[in-house]
A and B are shown apart, each in its own frame.
Chain A
Amino acid sequence: MEKKSLWKKITASREASLVIVLIVMLIVISIFSPSFLSPTNLGQIFRNNTLTMLMALGMLCVMLTAGIDISITSTLAFAGMGIGLLQKYDVIHNTLLLFIIGALIGLACGFLNGLIIAKGKIAPIICTMGFMYIWRGMAYVISNNNWASGQDVSGFSDFGKDGSPGPYIILVIAYVVFFIVMKWTKFGRSIYAVGSNPEAAQISGIKVDRVMIAVYTIMGLLSGLAGVLSVSIYASAQPNMQYGKEMDVIAACVIGGVSMSGGRGSVVGTFLGALIISIIAKALPLVGIDAIAQNLIKGVIIVFVVILNVITQRTMDRQNLLRREM
């Protein structure tokens, strides 16, 4: 009992350190740009970064099993381009149906990832790197050098329009569902178990392969959904959309305290990590930093926060040791 509460304290204080980083960032930004904390602006932070925040949840599951998925934005582009073209060529215009189709495309891509990784016993980074090339290439091929533009997706894009609650609702639902699943269900616990010690999990009756497949399928599903949302929010589908953004998602998770070697991480941490990445993206143009220096500052902040994470972890570990000795 005591051990558990101790573990809880550790996670709690990890997240507390993130909250402190967040608050410091907000204060600094507000000094340069007083309107940053206005409701409209805060709304825009979530809306513009719905994709990162959504995919970070899937990445959390994947990373909990000590895996990684770098094919997510390619899946996103493939699904997004797919549903964009369905509208461009006037096949389907029903928003709900398009969401289902996009999600299913993502689901299928993710399932394939999971199958190969779990059954083929292949390093996740390699398998997903292969699919990163494949789905991105396929997105280009099916696009046939065309974009689905504002008018093609009008009506559908109302869902993600500035001021429409659509993206927020999806985000809130996703985070609540994941919070519950990861914390209080058997499935959630089995993901943690597989990540901390696959052999032990296997012995204790968890079907490791199935958990792995499920995790990548969830990741694919969320990427597919993100693809649909991207088309809806930006009212345009292009084969190169969100190129390279998988690294933002991974960074968001790591900043949020998710361990890449598996077994450690939480939905709340992931949320805070994604929020920090989103705030950086939103704040850099606002605080008046020269456009060409923005990437540099972003990189420095990421490295800084990640190292800060390590240092807090170390101090916490040391304190715990001390406490135990006493």
Chain B
Amino acid sequence: MKKKVISVLLCVAMATGILAGCAAVPTATAPAADAAPAEEAAADEAAPAAEGAGTFAIVTKSAGNPFMDRLGTGFEEVIKAAGGEVVRKDPESATADAQIAVIQSLISQGVDTIAISANDANALISVCNEARDAGIKVLTLDSDVDPSARALFCNQAGVEAVGQQLIDAVYDLTGGEGQYAILSATSQATNQNAWIDAMKAISEGDDKYSKIELVEVAYGDDEPQKSTDQTQALLQNYPDLKVICAPTTVGIAAAAKVLQDQKSSVKLTGLGLPSEMAEYIGDDDAHSCPYMFLWNPIDLGRLAGYASLALYNGEITGAVGDTFEAATLESSPYTVVDNGAGTEVILGPPFKFDPSNIDEWKEVY
């Protein structure tokens, strides 16, 4: 009998929730939903500051990562300046699954735009579509979802450009011929896979690179320990190796440490955070990394901020040819282009960090 009492109690509890819920029909989502189809009506709202009231969300890949943190910083700065409200959310782990929970929560809150750095290109499609059905503008930055599920991708640098820079760096450091290896993040990391594919395509398509040989793509899973094991394995398996290219911030730092500690003659390049890599960048033999690349994550966050505002105000829809102003960025205004699969804006070419400028940048990010 007691069990029945309990189930009755449980039902009462549920009913409380229901009553509490139904008392207030979600009002917050309503204005956003109205604003969604009104593309032409928004033409006169040129100045973002005039709008003000919107709520803008950014979802990073993971917590506890300085790169992701700086994306949020830039984003917040732009939105705050325009008078909007910012919601910064880090998922509890670096998985698409954790991001889904976060985005669902944002849909409930009825935010106006969501900018996502996706952990998986496919897994977020359905939740992004759900958000768009609720009238929320969805855009991506840093790492894209399937183009069908978002309005716009704020790309840090064109895939081709990154691939070209990296393969040129390898060409330069090997002296035009010899073996090189790639140390990537996880095997499903969307960005890294795209860049590696671009590198392969470029080196196959041009005779200039015919004498440099890619011996292996190793995956360090963005863990220092595994990256260390993998780097040592590369050195051991390929005694003639000349260059390691690590297009990931954790991997490049781990590899740099291994090479520098072993005083290896193998050189390193790739994509890394200046603050992480300052110890290892230098032209002489005591340093393992002569130069590397990255973009400014704060600027990328800013770009996403401006794009969010423009989408919210209806200045752009994310279609090819749309342009929007980005006051604090150098290359403003930005124009939406087609990258073959979907639409994107490109922040600019990757920035080169070498001994001459590293001390200046390591304080920034």
A124-178 contacts to B, CB under 8 A, are 139-140, 143, 145-147, 149-151, 154, 157, 161-163
> Mask for B350-364, Cβ within 8 A of A = 1, else 0?
000000000000100
Q: List 19 A-B contacts (CB under 8 A).
A: A51-B225, A140-B63, A143-B64, A145-B66, A145-B68, A146-B66, A149-B275, A150-B257, A150-B276, A150-B280, A154-B279, A234-B257, A236-B224, A236-B253, A238-B224, A240-B94, A241-B224, A285-B234, A291-B219
Beta-carbon contact of B233 and A286 below 8 Å:
yes
Residues of A within 8 A of B265 (CB): none
Which chain B residues lie closer than 8 Å to A150 at the CB level? Answer: 253, 256-257, 276-280
Residues of A within 8 A of B (CB): 33, 35, 41, 44, 48, 51, 139-140, 143, 145-147, 149-151, 154, 157, 161-163, 230, 234-236, 238-243, 245, 281-282, 285-286, 288, 291-292
- Interface presence of B7 (CB below 8 A): no
* Nearest neighbor of B184 in chain A, beta-carbon distance: A291
Question: Closest B-chain residue to A140, C-beta based?
Answer: B64
Q: Are A147 and B257 in contact (CB under 8 A)?
A: no
Tell me which residues across on chain B come within 8 A of A41, comparing CB atoms. 232, 236
Partner of A285, one of B68, B233, B275: B233
Smallest Cβ distance from A52 to chain B, in angstroms?
Answer: 9
Report whether A163 and B261 are in contact in the complex, using a CB–CB cutoff of 8 Å: yes
CA–CA, A163 and B262, complex, Å: 8
User: How many residues of B sit at the interface, in one of the four size bands?
Assistant: 35 or more
Give the residues in chain B near A288, CB-CB below 8 Å: 237
| Cα(A230)–Cα(B277), bound, Å | 18
Q: Please, how many angstroms separate the alpha-carbon atoms of A234 and B255 in the complex?
A: 10
B203 within 8 A of A: no
- Given the complex, which residues of A lie within 8 Å of B278, measured CB to CB? 149-151
Interface residue ranges of B236-294 to A (CB < 8 Å): 236-237, 250, 253-254, 256-258, 261-262, 273, 275-280
B212 at the interface (CB under 8 A from A): no
Given contacts A145-B64, A145-B69, 10 further A-B contacts (CB under 8 A): A41-B236, A147-B65, A147-B275, A162-B257, A162-B261, A235-B279, A236-B257, A236-B276, A291-B219, A292-B187
In the complex, whether B296 has a CB less than 8 A from a CB of chain A is no
Q: Whole-angstrom distance between the alpha carbons of A242 and B250 in the complex?
A: 13
A147, B275: Cα distance in complex, Å: 9
Instruction: Contact check, A282 vs B225: say whether CB atoms are below 8 A apart.
Output: no
| Contact partners of A151 in chain B: CB under 8 A | 275, 278-279, 362
Across-interface contacts of A243 in B (CB, < 8 A): 223
Contact of B233 with A234 in the complex, beta carbons under 8 Å: no
Residue pair B225, A286 in contact (C-beta under 8 Å):
no
B94 partner residues in chain A, CB cutoff 8 A: 240
**Contact between B63 and A239 (Cβ–Cβ < 8 Å)?**
yes
Looking at A48, A162, A239, the one whose CB has the most chain B CB atoms below 10 A away is A162
The one of B223, B229, B262, B275 in contact with A282, judged by C-beta atoms closer than 8 angstroms, is B229
In the complex, which of the residues B90, B224, B279, B362 contacts A234, with contact meaning CB atoms closer than 8 Å? B224
Q: Is B165 an interface residue (CB 8 A)?
A: no
Residue in A33, A143, A147, A234 whose beta carbon sits within 8 Å of that of B225 in the complex:
A234
Q: Cβ of B218 < 8 Å from any Cβ of A?
A: yes
B187 touches A291 (CB 8 A): yes
In the complex, which residues 204-235 of chain B have their Cβ closer than 8 Å to any Cβ of chain A? 217-219, 223-226, 228-230, 232-234
| List of B residues within 8 angstroms of A48 by Cβ | 225, 228-229, 232
Contacts known (A151-B275, A151-B279, A285-B233); A145 close to B254, Cβ less than 8 A = no
Q: In whole angstroms, how far apart are the Cα atoms of A242 and B234 in the complex?
A: 22
